Amino acid sequence: MLMIVAVCTSIWVGRNVEPTAVVDLVAIDQAAAENSDDEIVPVNAVDDVDQPVGDLVLAAAEESVGSESSVIIQWISGEQTKYFHATLSRHFGVWSLLPAFVALALCWMTREPLVSLAGGALCGALSLGQYDLTEDVLVPIIGTPQASGILILYLWLLGGLLGVWSRTGAAEAFARWAARHFVRGPRSAKVVAWALGILFFQGGTISTVLVGTAVRPLADANRVSHEELSYIVDSTASPVASLIAFNAWPGYIQSLLLVPGVAYLATESARIQFFFQAIPLSFYSIFAIIGTFLVAIDRGPFIGSRFRAAVERSRQTGQLNRPGSMPMNASIDHVTAVPEGYRPHVAEFLLPLAILISIAVGTFVVSGKPEVRWAFGAALLSACGIALFRGLTIAQLMQGISDGLKGATYGSVVLMMAIVMGTLTSQLGGGRYLVDLLGNSLEPMAMPAVLFALTVAIAFSTGTSWGTYAVVYPLAMPLAVSVSAEADLSSPTLYVMVCFASVLNASTFGDQCSPISDTTVLTAMTTGADLMDHVLTQLVPAGFAAGLAVIAWTAVAGYCH
């Protein structure tokens, strides 16, 4: 019944609702304007610059395809020339959130992520008037470099690597080796998972894959429930990346922080310095990492009844997943047929893992961008080479790779649908609508908390943290600077840092808890958890950390008065 109503509503929206156009202006310097791929349009100055800019962007957008268009405005006033990056965003009002609402409702009702994402994507396509779902929606989105790169990485490379490790027994050998040297039970197994999460500070999908893949056999052998493991893996991914930010985060986020006339945000180096100076204010990330450690040592103060039941079930019965659950990679769980006479060695696991980490971190240090596919490709090749050298036949090796690909197929399809869902939500302007809805209600004292709530709503609904940054920061930073100036605060820079940190952490929290996020799906996939069990069990401890963070930000904002 829900889908019938949702589909009919989506068709009605696509045929009857006209999108609202919103123009955002950001002042830029001449170098940025000349380096931009957008068209530079000269405009003679008038009393009100907003009107001609709005007209120009609207005119340019009429000829574009999609929901967004942008131009560079060269504003000429006598001998002075200024540049503005003018972006047209469209949203469909409250209907922009319909696909996200349908997907989330189906997640809660069916506990089936693929059905839920497909339902949300269907409503999004119909709301945009796109009725040919294959040619107009799936092929253009899945055919992008981003989607195809994810498919190659997590289906071919990750699936193949897991299959080889399963066929050779390398993962089990690592579990036995770690058990002899470091692990004495569930608690120490979880501490190892926590420590690896800190070590792999690249964050996001990189951390979830590395930690989940490395620790799962160790945790399984010590009766750590998959709900516990998935929470530890997820909460030591992006939170760690935002604190130990020697990764791609500062370079991306600084590009969104430019505010005209603000010296400490004027240049790229100044904005990166601002990012690192604000790290101590990342209260959610700090509380999340502390809370995860407390969970690892069985001292979590607020974990909720579902989490507690999962712990008791795994310790008492050895059931790592809830009875009746649907783990994301169930077919991998039972592939343990190591060929007769083949003796697994821990080096078959550690050497490919070391190669993977070295290439990922090394390429980041050298070029500023971690080449993750290179890393996983080299790890897969090394794992295959070691297996063949130690006596595995080509036929046995290919059988292992085949089993790994089969096990990763479902999770990869869910990832593709998450990308489709996020793209359609962005085209409908869901994030832009939420900003317009709440943007006028911000008071100085409550601004960090309201920004946090707004950003969480966007990240949770769209399932993307970096996409949320692109929506919120260009609006939140000028607003924070303006409020700090108008309120005559005693510490205006600190106040802006608090607002910056609340958005940074809110996007991490919302993305982490969203069932349609690629990192959430990957966490469930690599730890063998049921997706909705992972989402529901981590809501309480993650929400507790978020609540503490909001209190801390409000207190600091009050101190700035």
Average pLDDT over every residue of 73-95: 74
Residue 56 belongs to domain spanning: 20-91
Among the listed residues 327, 320, 333, 345, the one whose alpha carbon sits nearest the alpha carbon of residue 404: 333
| Residue 111 pLDDT greater than 70, yes or no | no
Average pLDDT over every residue of 144-155: 77
Question: 401 near 413, Cβ under 8 Å?
Answer: no
Q: How far is CA 110 from the centre of its chain?
A: 23
Q: Indicate whether 74 and 86 sit together in one domain.
A: yes
Q: Indicate whether 108 and 228 sit together in one domain.
A: no
- Whether residue 473 is contained in a domain is answered as yes
CA angle 462, 226, 376 (to 5 degrees): 70
Q: Which of 42-46, 507-511, 514-518 has the highest mean pLDDT?
A: 507-511
The predicted structure's pLDDT at residue 314: 86
Q: Which two tokens stand for residue 560?
A: 């700035």
The predicted structure's pLDDT at residue 174: 73
Give residue-wise pLDDT tens across range 405-437: 887 787 778 778 877 877 787 788 776 676 666
Q: Which of 195-204, 367-376, 539-548 has the highest mean pLDDT?
A: 539-548
Among the listed residues 27, 408, 497, 60, the one whose alpha carbon sits nearest the alpha carbon of residue 209: 408
The predicted structure's pLDDT at residue 63: 45
Average pLDDT over every residue of 22-33: 67
Average pLDDT over every residue of 131-137: 87
The predicted structure's pLDDT at residue 137: 86
- Whether residue 141 is contained in a domain is answered as no
Give residue-wise pLDDT tens across range 539-561: 899 999 999 999 999 999 888 87
The predicted structure's pLDDT at residue 546: 93
Give residue-wise pLDDT tens across range 229-255: 999 988 888 888 788 766 557 766 776
> Could you count the other beta carbons within 10 Å of the beta carbon of residue 168?
28
Output the CA torsion 406→411→415→417 (10° steps): 90
The predicted structure's pLDDT at residue 285: 92
Among the listed residues 213, 197, 200, the one whose alpha carbon sits nearest the alpha carbon of residue 383: 213
Q: Indicate whether 132 and 241 sit together in one domain.
A: no
Average pLDDT over every residue of 471-489: 73
The predicted structure's pLDDT at residue 77: 66
Q: Indicate whether 196 and 296 sit together in one domain.
A: yes
The predicted structure's pLDDT at residue 553: 93
> Could you count the other beta carbons within 10 Å of the beta carbon of residue 396?
18
The predicted structure's pLDDT at residue 286: 94
Q: Indicate whether 464 and 494 sit together in one domain.
A: yes
Q: Which of 91, 106, 126 lies at the terminal end of a domain, its last residue?
A: 91
Give residue-wise pLDDT tens across range 37-81: 677 777 665 544 444 544 554 454 444 434 446 677 776 766 777
The predicted structure's pLDDT at residue 107: 67
Give residue-wise pLDDT tens across range 258-282: 665 566 777 777 887 888 888 899 9
The predicted structure's pLDDT at residue 467: 66
Q: Indicate whether 262 and 353 sit together in one domain.
A: yes
Residues 473, 475, 478, 481, CA torsion sign: negative
Contacts of 103 (CB under 8 A, 6+ apart): 116, 117, 119, 120, 121, 421, 515, 516
Exposed e or buried b per residue across 293-329, where buried means at least 16 C-beta atoms within 10 angstroms of its C-beta: bbbbeeebeebbebbeebbebbbeeeebbbeebbbbb
| Residue 311 pLDDT greater than 90, yes or no | no
Q: Which of 76-80, 319-323, 493-497 has the highest mean pLDDT?
A: 493-497
The predicted structure's pLDDT at residue 201: 63
Question: 281 near 259, Cβ under 8 Å?
Answer: no
Contacts of 315 (CB under 8 A, 6+ apart): 186, 223
Output the CA torsion 300→303→305→310 (10° steps): -70
Average pLDDT over every residue of 495-517: 89
The predicted structure's pLDDT at residue 67: 44
Q: Indicate whether 291 and 173 sit together in one domain.
A: yes
d(CA 224, CA 529): 11
Place of tokens 């808890």: 513
The predicted structure's pLDDT at residue 58: 47
The predicted structure's pLDDT at residue 502: 94
Question: 58 near 20, Cβ under 8 Å?
Answer: no
How does the average pLDDT of the chain come out, rounded?
79
Average pLDDT over every residue of 140-154: 79
Q: Which of 73, 104, 136 lies at the terminal end of a domain, its last residue?
A: 136
Q: Indicate whether 118 and 41 sit together in one domain.
A: no
Place of tokens 């040297």: 181
Among the listed residues 463, 414, 369, the one whose alpha carbon sits nearest the alpha carbon of residue 142: 414
| 211: enclosing H helix or E strand | helix 204-221
According to DSSP, the residues that pair with 44 across neighbouring strands are 76
Q: How far is CA 330 from the centre of its chain?
A: 24
Choice among 5-14, 108-117, 191-200 with the minimum mean pLDDT = 108-117
Place of tokens 């080889």: 164
> Could you count the other beta carbons within 10 Å of the beta carbon of residue 95?
23
| Residue 352 pLDDT greater than 70, yes or no | yes
Average pLDDT over every residue of 114-129: 86
- Whether residue 229 is contained in a domain is answered as yes
Average pLDDT over every residue of 6-31: 78
> Could you count the other beta carbons within 10 Å of the beta carbon of residue 59?
13
Write out the DSSP string of 377-446: HHHHHHHHHHHHHTT--HHHHHHHHHHHHHHHHHHHHHHHHHHHHHHHHHHHTHHHHHHHHHGGG--TTT
d(CA 558, CA 213): 44
The conformation of residue 25, written as its DSSP 8-state character, comes to E
Contacts of 304 (CB under 8 A, 6+ apart): 537, 539, 540, 541
Q: Which two tokens stand for residue 256?
A: 């969104």
d(CA 71, CA 135): 29
Q: pTM for the full model?
A: 0.66
Write out the DSSP string of 119-184: HHHHHHHHHTT---IIIIIIHHHHTSHHHHHHHIIIIIIHHHHHHHHHHHTHHHHHHHHHHHHT-S
Sequence length of the chain is 561
Q: Indicate whether 496 and 532 sit together in one domain.
A: yes
- Whether residue 75 is contained in a domain is answered as yes
Q: Which of 105, 136, 167 lies at the terminal end of a domain, its last residue?
A: 136
327 half-sphere exposure, CB direction, 13 A CA radius: 22
| Residue 187 pLDDT greater than 70, yes or no | yes
- Whether residue 105 is contained in a domain is answered as yes
Query: Percent of the chain beyond pLDDT 70?
Result: 79
- Whether residue 328 is contained in a domain is answered as no
The predicted structure's pLDDT at residue 405: 85
Of residues 103 and 529, the one with the higher pLDDT is 529
Residue 70 Ramachandran class (φ > 0 left, ψ -120 to 50 alpha, else beta): beta
| Residue 342 pLDDT greater than 90, yes or no | no
- Whether residue 325 is contained in a domain is answered as no
- Whether residue 329 is contained in a domain is answered as no
Question: 520 near 461, Cβ under 8 Å?
Answer: no
Q: Indicate whether 201 and 340 sit together in one domain.
A: yes
Write the secondary structure of 273-341 as one string of H (helix), E (strand) and C (coil).
Answer: HHHHHCHHHCHHHHHHHHHHHHHHCCCCCCCHHHHHHHHHHHHHHCCCCCCCCCECCHHHHCCCCCCCC
Question: What is the number of domains present in the chain?
Answer: 3
Contacts of 71 (CB under 8 A, 6+ apart): 38, 39, 40, 41, 56, 57, 60, 86
Contacts of 182 (CB under 8 A, 6+ apart): 188, 192
Q: Indicate whether 102 and 198 sit together in one domain.
A: no
Q: Indicate whether 391 and 248 sit together in one domain.
A: yes
